[in-house]
Amino acid sequence: MCVYRLVLEVRGVKGHCAAGYKLGDRIVIGEGSIISRESSNVCLYALGALLPYLTVAYRKTPEDDWINMVQELQCPDPVNTVVFKVVREEMRESKG
């Protein structure tokens, strides 16, 4: 199966993020796992909200699939919202 490496980069922080995210922080996902040595903090609340999108975004999809149009995702906190830029990188064959 062809997969993408995903990079979620903090593009904006509204208010004060309890997880401490700041502009430029990243979460890097490869082969379905968070690559901790390349990632900043991982907020479980944000991860839980983003997970349904990430499981689709890291796989190859038809060009007209809606997931290919998603450029940003945000955490579920309505007051202290963190916005992540979604970057899909280096497609390759997965081991699985």
Distance of alpha carbon 7 from alpha carbon 28, whole angstroms: 5
Kindly state the tokens that stand for 10.
């903090």
Confidence of residue 20 (pLDDT cuts 50, 70, 90): very high
For residues 55 and 63, the answer to whether their CB atoms sit within 8 Å is no
Its domain, for residue 8, covers 2-93
Q: Name the domain count of the chain.
A: 1
Instruction: State yes or no: pLDDT of 95 exceeds 70.
Output: no
* Predicted structure pTM score: 0.87
The model's pLDDT over 47-81, given as tens digits with 9 standing for 90+, comes to: 999 999 998 888 888 989 998 899 999 999 999 99
Across the chain, mean pLDDT equals 90
